Structure formats: C-alpha cells, structure tokens
Amino acid sequence: MSLDLTPAALEREAPRLMRARPLLTMNNISRSFGDVRALRDVDATVYPGEVMGIVGESGSGKSTLLRMMNLEDTPDTGDYRLRLPDREDGNLFDLTRYQRRMLCARHIGIVYQNPHLGLLMRQSSSGNVAERLLIAGERSFDVLRARAREALDASEFPLERMDARPIELSGGMQQRVQLAKAIALEPALLLLDEPTTGLDVSVQALVLDTLKRLQRDRKITMVLVSHDLGVIRTMADRVMVMRHGQVVEQGLADQIFQDPQHPYTQQLVHAKL
Amino acid sequence: MTTTPLLRVEGLTKTFRIYHLDSALHAFEDVSFDLHEGEFLLLRGHNGAGKSTLLRTIWRSYLPVGGHVWYRSGHGEIDLANAADVDISLLRREEIGFVTQFLNARPRVAAQDIVAEPLRLAGIAQDEALDQARHWLDQFGVRPELWRAYPSTFSGGEQQKVNLARALILPQRLLLLDEPTASLDAGAREALVRRLSDLKAHGVAIIGVFHHPGDVAALIDREINLNTKVVADQLTKEEDHVAL
C-alpha cells in the first residue's frame, strides 16, 4: 500500500459537525525582514476556549506570529480577523495604529517571557494592572484598585504584596503580575510568549497551574508559544509546528506527540528527553 | 440487533511512517466491525497485533491512513477518521472517553481535583464536583488520607484508581479501555466491573483491551481477534486467553 504523506494529502477535507466558529482566523500571513522571510503564507485558526500551542526551534517564526496576533507588527501580506461581540468583522491589519492599540488593550492580553517588556518595573504591581484598566477608560480610583486586586488574586499573586514594585519581586511573581495585567479586562484572547521559560521547575508548574485554572474557570482562549514540549503537552489542546517561517504540521496535541506526520515533527518529538 | 449502530468501523487501516528509518510499520489493515449502544466489544490478539493502536486510532491520537469510523454523535453522524480536530476535541469532552493504564496528571494537583476536573469542565459547581470525586475515589478504594495528596507520590495501582475515577466519573456514550485493570487489586477490579456494568446498562458502548479478559467476562458481548479479524459473538474460553 502506498502512503501519501505530502502536505496536500494531509490537508484533510474535514466534514464539520459542530459548526464551531473560530475566534481567530489568520490567512496567508507573510513577513520579511530584509532578506529573511520570517513568515511564509501562514494560516492559523483558533477556536473559542481552546489552548493553541505553537512549537518550533528558535527563528522558526513562532514569536513573530504571536506579535502579529498582538498587532505589534503588520505583515507584508495577509489578513487577521477576530470574532468579537462588539465589532464588525474586518481585517485588523487595516485598522489605524490607534485603533489597533485600543483593540489590543481591550480584547487581547499578552504575557512575555521577559517581564521588562510587559511591565513598568518601578511602578507598583497594582499600578501596572490598573494602567491597563485606565487605557480602557476606567477612571474611578476605587474601581481601579478593586479590579486590579481581583485580577492579581485570580493570578494567585499574594495580595499583601500588591503595592510592591515588580523590580522587588521574584521571576515567578513578575509573571503573575503580567498575567493579572493581561486578564484584567477579561480579554477574548490571551497570548503567552514563553511565559515560563527562565523560571525554575517548581515555579513553572505553579504558573502553569494558574493558567490551566484560568482557562477552565473563565474559558479564556489562549495561544501559547514555547520551545518546551513538556509545557505544550501539558497545556495545549491543539498544536502548530513551525519551521523556517512555515507551518509544517498541525493537529490535536496528543496526535502531534504520539503520531507526528511530518519528518521535522518526528525529529522534534523524538528529541524530547 | 436491528438498530443503527453507534459506531461503524469500515476498512480501517493504520500504518506508521518512520522517517529516520525510511520505513513504514503496518499496525493493522482493513478492520471492520459495528458497535451498538450498550454493547461491550473485546479486542484480542497477540502482542503487537494492534489492539491499543486500534483504540488510539478511533480516539484519534493516531491518524488512520485508510477507512472510516462512522460515529453517531449527539450532533449528527461523523467520520472520526476524517473529522476536523476541533470536532474531535468536542466529542472527547462530551461523548467519548479513553482510559489507559497510565495516569497522565499534571504535577501538584490533588487527587480529588484531578478526578473532579471533568465535572468542573462540564460546568458543575466546585463543591458538588468534589463530593462526587470523593465518592468515586472511595468506590475505587483510594484511602481518604490520599484524596488531597498529589498522585505523583502514589503507587502504580493507586494512580490507576485515580485515573479510573476521573475517566468514569462522567458518563460517556462511547468508552475506549486500554488495559484498565492492569495494576488493580481485587477490590478495585470489582468496583470497575460494577461501574462498567452500570454504564453499559445505561447504553454506553465499550471497546476494551484486557490483559485478563476473565476480569470482565460477564460484560463481554462480542470479541474481535485482530490476528484473524474474526468477530465472534461469544467470549472464547478462558484457556484460549492464556494462549494469547
């Protein structure tokens, strides 16, 4: 029996049972930096309530794609749609810079690997969270304080330290402040760029637990980029495997790990200790 | 039976492609059978006959290379062999369960929380979910002092009990069992048989691989031998199981 495992053959014409509508759709995203083609014709679909994991080696384009999802960068070609209750469907890359900033602040949360990117290190932790609420138009001090407190609590941050500055906190605690800031406005989409890289193993497990709990209780849709296959395996429902700016394979997380179809994915999965 | 089957497997074939060896491994080829609601099908065959692989292919951890798995879901009929990942995700949450002999739990989560999780995901309140979780841990013989402990510290048998309690806490329509009795003591085996018998009576269809099929002999309606692909309506005698 011949076995056709070309990408075209693997592209399954799937009959759709549930008619679930995606929250996020990206089509034909390409982006070059000089001669380097960081993303080549990438398509991505994320459904409400799921955790989509993106894996790939350094330079595969996974973080660039995540930055696109956070509207920090725009591609050379391609479109990006989010199905949000209060806005019309349209390519988000067509929005003005200000509109993009507002949309992100309101609907998209992000946690970076490096807390310096996501936090003002010399402002209090509660202030960092409140800043996000200020952008969305909240002005009452009491409301700001209460909601910052609530978000920090949901991120399992010790509230007695809510007025400490991130610079005084440990790495794990800084990630919790980033997380609180990201979820303060109950975003439709939470983006996680290597959120536990650099944390020691026990702290990493605690942060992942918090994320799992948030996903379960608040049904937050997440896109998680990590080069740590263990983290992806624990967290993700579906996985996209990227290499040289392209998606080489995507599927259910257990399928990607147990029955990888692409040679590169097989190599990647078998390299895991 | 004259009713429409819940599951209709047609010509299912699975081959693994191993790139670094530049070879292909044939797991099973052209397997077909029907399964009705409330039916218990035993999969038999030598080691490596593809019993576990067949279960994983129906569950879609493995992608089949040919054939169909028609499943009559609560949302309509769907071919699990070709369904979109998002649909498989949904069916796994709502209708299809898979129990292996291994507990794949997140570290630092208490046994009772692991067991309660499917109920929490189904929207049941924390207190109610924990009550039910403790009930099932108790049924499978996990001692109360372990309920709030982390299963990573448990023995193999205890981990398996937690695994079963979690997998069977929420009734499914189709249940796939991969050697669930492997490391259980007699008490837990009895509890498992009781639970399976109860689920079967409520119409749950079950496909199972058992090291000792005698454990569940009373429940088995039919069996399929993956070496010969013969579907039999009755359980083969116990001495034949020893031979396999």
Please write the tens of the pLDDT for every residue from B75-114. 889 999 999 999 999 899 889 999 987 777 667 789 999 9
Q: Give residues with Cβ within 8 angstroms of A202, minimum separation 6.
A: none
Residues in chain A: 273
* Average pLDDT of the segment spanning A9-30: 71
B185 min Cα distance to partner chain A (Å): 29
A14 and B87: CB-CB below 8 Å?
A: yes
B79 min Cα distance to partner chain A (Å): 8
Looking at this protein, which amino acid is placed at residue A197? T
- Over residues B181-199, the pLDDT tens digits come to 888 899 999 999 999 999 9
Of B13, B19, B75, the CB nearest to A17: B75
Chain B hits for A12, Cβ within 8 Å: 82, 84
pLDDT band at A250 (very low <50, low <70, confident <90, very high): very high
Element (H, E) at B94: helix B85-94
CA dihedral B100, B103, B106, B109 (to 10 degrees): 130
CA terminus-to-terminus distance, chain A: 33
φ/ψ of B147, rounded to 5, equals -60, -35
Q: Give residues with Cβ within 8 angstroms of A43, minimum separation 6.
A: A26, A27, A28, A29, A247
pLDDT at A88 over 80: no
Specify the pLDDT at position B240.
47
Does A175 touch chain B if contact means CB atoms closer than 8 Å?
no
Could you tell me the CA-to-CA distances from A122 to A165, A169, A243, B202 in Å, in that order? 6, 11, 38, 61
B86 and A205: CB-CB below 8 Å?
A: no
Of A3, A205, A266, the CB nearest to B65: A3
Element (H, E) at B11: strand B7-18
Cα–Cα distance for residue pair A190/A217, rounded to 1 Å: 14
Cα–Cα distance for residue pair A258/A239, rounded to 1 Å: 12
Tokens of A189: 């989409």
Q: Which domains are present in chain A?
A: 21-122+189-270 (3.40.50.300)
B60 min Cα distance to partner chain A (Å): 7
Cα–Cα distance for residue pair A266/A272, rounded to 1 Å: 10
Chain A hits for B85, Cβ within 8 Å: 238, 250-252, 255
Chain B hits for A238, Cβ within 8 Å: 85-86, 89
* Three-state secondary structure call for residue B223: strand
Chain A hits for B66, Cβ within 8 Å: 1
Beta-sheet strands, E only, within B147-240: 174-178, 205-209, 222-225, 230-232
Of A206, A258, A261, the CB nearest to B61: A258
Element (H, E) at B240: helix B238-243
Dihedral sign, Cα of residue B97, residue B102, residue B106, residue B108: positive
Specify the pLDDT at position A209.
87
* Top-confidence residue, A238 or A18: A238
* Top-confidence residue, A5 or A54: A54
Cα–Cα distance for residue pair A164/A149, rounded to 1 Å: 13
Beginning with the edge strand found earlier in the chain, give each strand of the sheet holding B222-225 in spatial order.
Answer: B96-99, B174-178, B205-209, B40-44, B222-225, B230-232
pLDDT band at B145 (very low <50, low <70, confident <90, very high): very high
Chain B hits for A203, Cβ within 8 Å: none
CA terminus-to-terminus distance, chain B: 29
- Over residues A139-158, the pLDDT tens digits come to 899 999 999 999 999 998 99
pLDDT band at A99 (very low <50, low <70, confident <90, very high): very high
Of A3, A50, A259, the CB nearest to B89: A50
pLDDT band at B236 (very low <50, low <70, confident <90, very high): low
pLDDT band at B18 (very low <50, low <70, confident <90, very high): confident
B189 min Cα distance to partner chain A (Å): 28
Cα–Cα distance for residue pair B166/A109, rounded to 1 Å: 32
Classify residue B76 as left (phi > 0), alpha (psi -120 to 50) or beta: left
Chain A residues 28-47 with a CB less than 8 Å from chain B: 47
The residue assigned the tokens 């391609």 is A78
* Top-confidence residue, B56 or B76: B56
Q: Which domains are present in chain B?
A: 40-61+94-243 (3.40.50.300)
Counting residues of chain B whose pLDDT is more than 90, the rounded percentage is: 66
Question: Considering just the CA atoms, what is the radius of gyration of chain B in Å?
Answer: 18
B89 and A255: CB-CB below 8 Å?
A: no
